[in-house]
Structure 1
Amino acid sequence: MATSLFILIHLSIFPSISGLDFLFNSFNTNTNTNITLNGDAKIEPPVIRLTNDSNQFSFGRAFYPTRISMKPVSNSTVLSSFSTQFVFSVLPEISSSPGFGLCFVLSNTTEPAGAFSGQYFGLFSNGNTVGPLLAVEFDTGTNAEFDDPDDNHVGIDLNSIVSVKTEPAGYYNSSGGGLVPVNMRNGQNIHAWIEFNGSEFEINVTIAPAGVAKPSRPLLTYRDPIIANYVSSEMYVGFSSSKTTWVEPQRVLAWSLSDTGVSRDINTTNLPVFKSESSSSSLSRGAIAGITIGCVVIFIFFLSVCYWFWRRQGNKGEEDDEIEDWELEYWPHRFSYEELSQATKAFSKDELLGSGGFGRVYKGNLPNNTEVAVKCLNHDSKQGLREFMAEISSMGRLQHKNLVQMRGWCRKGNELMLVYDYMPNGSLNNWIFSKPKKLMGWEDRRRVLADVVEGLNYLHHGWDQVVVHRDIKSSNILLDNEMRGRLGDFGLAKLYTHGEVPNTTRVVGTLGYLAPEVATLAAPTAASDVYSFGVVVLEVVCGRKPIEHWAEREEDAILIDWVREKYEEGKLLETADERIKGEYKVEDMEAMLKLGLACCHPDPVRRPTMREVVAILVGEVVAAAPRDLLSELVPGGISNSDGRGEGTEGASPPQVLV
């Protein structure tokens, strides 16, 4: 109530130019003139459906055609306020499938350029998103690379898929004050309220099941003057969502908005409720009686059919798990489904290590007490299962002490399970970010990077063909029981491009680690792997993620740009992780930072090869070689830490740059 009163007072001081005030208790064909639809969004009376079933990669957006005035005075940081509420529903046809929910959007355009489907909500790309753009996401999926806390949360997004603040979905009970969880992806109608307080740079988000009175306490409050940077003078308001392979309709059932006061209440009593076709429906007594009588009449026949069907399914299951002749060609060891099911306690949630773009990973314990990690993949490759297994076989033959070793595989129908060595110390990023219990020190960081370099060098130069990893990042660097680094998921990105597996995008890779040329090349190269490794080097020695949204200046948000700017200013050492200050020699830290910058050179032919990086990082010339690598990185020569430049005129060209 206090927030609503403040909005009313604020709007009397800063009146809106547009004066928007609308209410849609439902949507029909006559609404078309009042709603701008693009992508796969369409009106299916009485709702707006944002995605469809026919396209594998589907996205849809629905905007109000009149823009809302957000800055009454041009070039001012003073913002207007508005209040909105809407009802939405997210219902996956497959309950275990990854989901992506939807977003309420403030956007400069109704068609954000270069936006991806899937986990990018049809708003963002895996590069810099053209803004300004502000979104409130109602996310029903989890992606560790985007720092998602779980698969059922609300977040604030400022020009990026990585939220600046999130909260688990729920509402605060007015009587007890505790948080009541709300499942946003079971088809129930969710009532959402958003209050944008422009003068306080504050966003309040509240949700509750439709029919529940608006809770007095918001679920999420975000306040920061930085909001003004993501709002233009006039912006479109609306919704956006996307999906990949899974059928997951996202619907908007009702919507009201006002920038002249509190938005009008929605009548939720007559809204439709959507249920999965596979879910059971309630039956009348007459229907139950009819079914019962019918079952008695055909009882014997029914039992016969069921018995035949059971035997057929049982035989099919045996066939699915039976080793075919062609599978005997492949290596390594083939596990039976029963072995892996027993090892993972029937793929129990308690054994789930994580999930992401490549599937779910479970911890398993084989009968000989060997701990393994089992990665479950749903394969839908157009090239066929046999060709897919041929490439799995090639991966199994890759053996190096700094690669996570594949122990075997299993096939059951079209489902594939890959079995790897279990890495007890998890991934590298957990020892540097996310407030680790024990922060990784300089020597350990340097040793892990050296391990990764040797593994990558093997993939690029130690096999009969070049294996491009395509997704090098700190979360794919795993640590064994001796805290030595091993590179995981090698080859999987390449395999997945054949079949467009769910929860992946057409451009394989992770936001912040992608080389600039990947967006235009038909396929990544070894040089793009070098770039991604350079990003890992910088984030490990700087203690910063590739993209940080807490940066005061937008140009400081991108790690590479920030380090390069400090380098040009002669202040390179200022980028080193403050938490490990005093653990390293200055020349070693400078060498490592320069190596990271060299690997991230914007021109791929100017980057060192992994063989050359090994010689630098593992060899005896650690401090000297990076200076040669960087002699042409900054025009005018290399800047020392004291700001003095070292000219390159007359110097011989660096040996490792093409």
Structure 2
Amino acid sequence: MLRITAYSALFFLLFHLFNTHSSAINFLYNSFNPTDLILISDARVDSSIVRLTNDSDQSSIGRAFYPTPLKMITTPTNTNTITSFSTSFVFSILPQDPTNPGFGLAFVLSNTTSPSGAISGQYFGLFSNALPIHTPLLAVEFDTGQNQEFNDSDGNHVGIDLNSIQSSFNQTAGYWDSTGEFRTIHMNSGQNIRAWIEFSGTDLQINVTISPAGISKPSRPLISYQNPEIVNYLSDQMYVGFSASKVTWVERQRILGWSLSDMGGAARELNTSNLPVFLPDSPPRGSPSAGLISGTTIGSVVVMAVCLWGLYWFWYRKQRNKEELEADDDKIEEWELEYWPHRFSYEELWKATKGFSKEEMLGFGGFGRVYKGVLSSTTEIAVKCISHDSKQGVREFMAEISSMGRLQHKNLVNMKGWCRKGNELMLVYDYMPNGSLNNWIFDKPNTPEDQILGWDVRRRVLGDVAEGLLYLHHGWDQMVLHRDIKPGNILLDGEMRGRLGDFGLAKLYQHGEAPGKTRVVGTLGYLAPELAHVPAPTAASDVYSFGVVMLEVACGRRQIEGWLEEEDEVLLVDRVSELYVEGRVLEAVDERIRGECKVEEMEKVLKLGLACSHPDPNHRPTMKEVVAVLLGEEAVARLGSLVVDLGRIGSGAFDDPT
């Protein structure tokens, strides 16, 4: 009987182990074949190395996944068990132009190989510019660009992304050496970088470590992130792999080796000794062979001939490109005549921006680059270059912009015209010499005082933008919904007056027309809560965004931020609401300007900001009412009865809205 019991116990143990590891994954790739991975969009295997995006001057997305998904959640005894895994890989990121840092790449866990709504640029080909996606997705981003609206710490960081492009945690890329000194790694230098990621299903913790390839794994991880909410971003089975994207400039994201194990313990060791090294303007570097030496010798003999041929080819292409540009400028397709007729020639904008030179570039983002230019030696302009994947995309965008171009108001960034070359659209605006409100509120240092935007200017800018919004909602022959109001889209002219710009997401409706449902667009933190349930933008959703901006300007804090070092990030609306209910709303004021403003005036702006950001759109004021309060006119009767009931923290009332 004892022997039978022992055999039964042994059989049960073997059966349990078989069920536990029958779907285990344990692989090692020191090089790749095209059949090893699922390659999506522009991803490919090139010389045994995975390339994620292409080398064109168009937007590109590439993903590479291991074919078998990881079994992340098991339920052996009515209790969910989260799988742990360990992975290591070598990557290289090299922009063709070092002045354009690009966007990097991401290691991905996703329940689908094609996340819905994913776009290129700074979204890694995984996320959209709308609300957080609903697909279970966890990513570790190796980001080589800084995007302030995503709260990136700098332009060279590693971050943990949970269903959102805005990282839950990020840290400057680097490692601690054996002496305990932190050494920064510049991830867009082209050097081979080794990454280790350990995921503990028991502790719901992610450890990320990086170092130059060839160096032993540092004992201290760069990121050690633990969050019980991670389980909400996992599904029963998830694909594991890499994703990257780019816009108009070339960025080469390479995966040179990869190992992973979900059987416990570390992933198998990669061989990094023979991997090629990619450097700017150089071919892969390895041990010189006899063929390489021979080729170099022969090449030195003919180098003069090659140089002469290159000069001739350069001259020939320049002449031909000039002829093509002139021909393209003269060609106006029939459908273009339907739209706003102020069309600049490409040659005119080329000269104005000094050939779209790097020195004239004002900035860049997911939609393209912005350049400063000068027309006729006197008129300063800003030229925004937007690339589309198809001519149909250009036509649809033109249909929107054509009406926007006719908007004329002192508090809007006026569009001066446009130009089309192929599938690239160039929009010409008035140049705003003082940049965006975002830079003045959040990026200026605390000292010296003359660099801080004072309260008088802040309040005046808010009034300017409110007047611009009033014109959009009520002052034109159509109602215009901006849909992306934020400090980055509020520009300051030479007199520090505020102007609302960037109408790329705007929609036009007839007055009295009910806006139809559309995809949710905008920026996280500024989107009205009702859009999560009914994606139909309204004037009230614009008012909500403006309310958040008012609170940011008054408080000197971003819409999502931790107020104390030990605190988690909270919504600015929530924190100001709490202080208002507790009768301490003035504690929210930017400490750099507290001595400049009258208490009554600051309270008025904070209360108005809370009213505008009310969770119920029916309780928000209109822009007519907002302008009346901001410009000091007698408030209308309805504003005096506005109730602040933010739902999340309790209720209160505006006893005196002015």
TM-score calculated relative to the size of structure 1 = 0.70
Determine if the alignment matches structure 1 residue 454 to structure 2 residue 463.
Answer: no
Q: Structure 1 residues 121, 611: CA separation in 2 closer, same or farther (over 3 Å shift)?
A: same
2:103 & 2:609 partners in 1: Cα distance?
A: 34
Deviation larger for 475-484 or 618-627: 618-627
Which residue pairs with 1:615 in the alignment?
628
Residue pair 1:450, 1:617 contacting (<8 A) in 2 also: yes
Q: Is the 8 A contact 1:133 1:158 kept in 2?
A: yes
Which of 241, 244, 269 is equivalent to 2:243?
Answer: 241
Counterpart of 2:383 in 1: which secondary structure? strand
- Residue 15 (structure 1) aligns with: none
Compute the displacement of 1:472 (Å): 0.8
How many corresponding residue pairs?
Answer: 598
Matched, 1:65 2:70: yes
Q: Does 1:193 align with 2:191?
A: no
The CA distance in 2 between the partners of 1:416 and 1:105, in whole Å, is 33
Please say if 1:539 is aligned against 2:558: no
Q: State whether structure 2 residue 449 is matched by structure 1 residue 441.
A: no
The answer on whether the counterparts of 2:159 and 2:169 sit within 8 Å (CA) in structure 1 is yes
1:372 corresponds in structure 2 to 381
Look up the match of 1:579. 592
**Is residue 2:590 matched to residue 1:588?**
no
RMSD: 5.7
Who is 2:327 aligned against? 319
Which of 338, 351, 354 is the aligned partner of 1:342?
Answer: 351
The answer to whether the 8 Å contact 2:390/2:423 transfers is no
2:643 to 619, 630, 633: 630
Aligned counterpart, 2:222 = 221
The one-letter amino acid paired with 1:102 is L
1:139 maps to what in 2?
Answer: 143
Q: Tell whether the 8 Å contact from 1:512 to 1:546 is kept in structure 2 after alignment.
A: yes
Cα distance in 1 for residues equivalent to 2:445 and 2:629: 30
Whether 1:363 aligns to 2:372 is yes
Distance 1:142 1:477, change over 3 A: same
Give the Cα–Cα distance (whole angstroms) in 1 for the partners of residues 90 and 62 of structure 2.
Answer: 21
Q: Judging changes above 3 Å, is the alpha-carbon distance between structure 1 residues 110 and 375 closer, same or farther for their aligned structure 2 residues?
A: closer
More divergent stretch after superposition (556-565 vs 156-165): 156-165
Q: Is the 8 A contact 1:132 1:229 kept in 2?
A: no
Please say if residues 260 and 268 of structure 2, whose CA atoms lie closer than 8 Å, have aligned partners that are also in contact.
Answer: yes
Question: 1:447-526, aligned counterparts within 5 Å?
Answer: 447-491=460-504, 493=506, 507-519=520-532, 521=534, 523-526=536-539
For 1:402 and 1:305, the matched residues in 2 are separated by: 49
Distance 2:108 2:564 in 1: 23
SS of structure 1 residue aligned to 2:548: helix
Q: Is the 8 A contact 1:123 1:240 kept in 2?
A: no
1:403 Cα offset (Å):
0.7
Deviations 1:188-232 (A, max 9, x none): 754223578999x99553232x4x3348697x83468x7566579
Instruction: Provide the C-alpha distance between the structure 2 equivalents of 1:145 and 1:320, rounded to a whole number of angstroms.
Output: 37
Flag the 1:68–1:266 CA change in 2: closer, same or farther, 3 A.
Answer: farther
- Preserved contact between residue 41 and residue 61 of structure 2 (Cα < 8 Å): no
Give 1:102's aligned residue: 105
Distance 1:245 1:306 in 2: 26
With over 3 angstroms needed to count, the CA separation of the structure-2 counterparts of 1:370 and 1:627, relative to structure 1, is same
Q: 1:518·1:524 contact (CA, 8 Å) conserved in 2? A: yes
Deviation for aligned residue 1:615? 2.2
Offset at residue 622 of structure 1 (A):
5.7
C-alpha deviations, 1:348-371, integer Å up to 9, x for none? 222221111332111223343333
What SS is found at the alignment partner of 1:432? helix
Q: Residue by residue, what CA displacement relative to the aligned partner does 1:356-388 show, whole Å, maximum 9, x if unpaired?
A: 133211122334333322211223455465665
Q: CA deviation at 1:465?
A: 1.0
TM-score, scaled to structure 2: 0.70
For residues 118-197 of structure 1, the aligned pairs below 5 Å read: 118=120, 119-121=122-124, 126-128=130-132, 135-148=139-152, 153-157=157-161, 160-163=164-167, 182=186, 184=188, 189-194=192-197
Counterpart of 2:406 in structure 1 is 397
Give the direction of change, closer, same or farther, for the CA distance of 1:411–1:38 in structure 2 (3 Å limit).
closer
Give ranges in structure 2 of 5+ residues lacking alignment: 1-19, 509-517
Work out the CA distance in 1 between the residues paired with 2:43 and 2:217. Answer: 31
Mapped partners of 2:617, 2:634: distance in 1: 23
What secondary structure, in the 3-state scheme, does the structure 1 residue paired with 2:561 have?
A: coil
The one-letter amino acid of 1:562's match is R
Query: In 2, are the aligned partners of 1:85 and 1:193 still within 8 Å (CA)?
Result: yes
- Show the counterpart of 1:9: none
**Deviation digits for residues 502-552 of structure 1 (CA, Å, limit 9, x no counterpart):** xxx964211111123334556533222122112211222222212225767
Unmatched 5+ stretches in structure 1? 1-17, 496-504, 647-653
- TM-aligned CA distance change 1:164 to 1:579, over 3 Å: farther
Stretch of structure 1 that moved more, 583-592 or 359-368? 583-592
